[in-house]
Structures are given as structure tokens and as C-alpha cells.
Amino acid sequence: MAALVSSAILSLRLLILAGLLIAPIGVVAYSKSVGYGIGKNGAGFVLFVTLQRQAMS
């Protein structure tokens, strides 16, 4: 019984660690697929062009 509990605790720790390492990558991938961020129309486009011009000068 003690071996089963020890194994379960170890598995839970590994699952939490893997989740903490994988979650940021998953969030970035999801946000890119959904299309969050500055759009290329309206005020977002103006901001994008302004930042590009400042970077070039």
C-alpha cells in the first residue's frame, strides 16, 4: 500500500511539473491560432506601422 501511495505522489509531482513547463507553450500556440494580438486594421495597424518606422530610423 505504501508503494502505491508513493508512486501516486511521484506521478502527481511529474504531472504538475510537466504542466508548468508545457502550459506557456500551449498558451502561446493557442493565442496565435485564435488570432489574439494587435490586428492589422484600424488602430492596431497604425500602431504597427508607427513602431516599424521608429525601428527603421
Q: Where are the domains of the chain?
A: 2-56
Q: Which residue has the higher pLDDT, 17 or 57?
A: 17
Q: Mind listing the pLDDT tens digit for each residue in 15-54?
A: 999 999 999 998 888 877 776 665 566 777 888 888 889 8
Q: pTM of whole model > 0.85? A: no
Whether residue 10 is predicted with pLDDT greater than 90 in this model: the reply is: yes
Going by the DSSP 8-state scheme, the letter that residue 42 receives in this structure is T
The confidence score (pLDDT) of residue 57 equals 74
Task: State the average pLDDT over residues 7-20.
Answer: 95
* Placement of cell 496565435 in the chain: 32
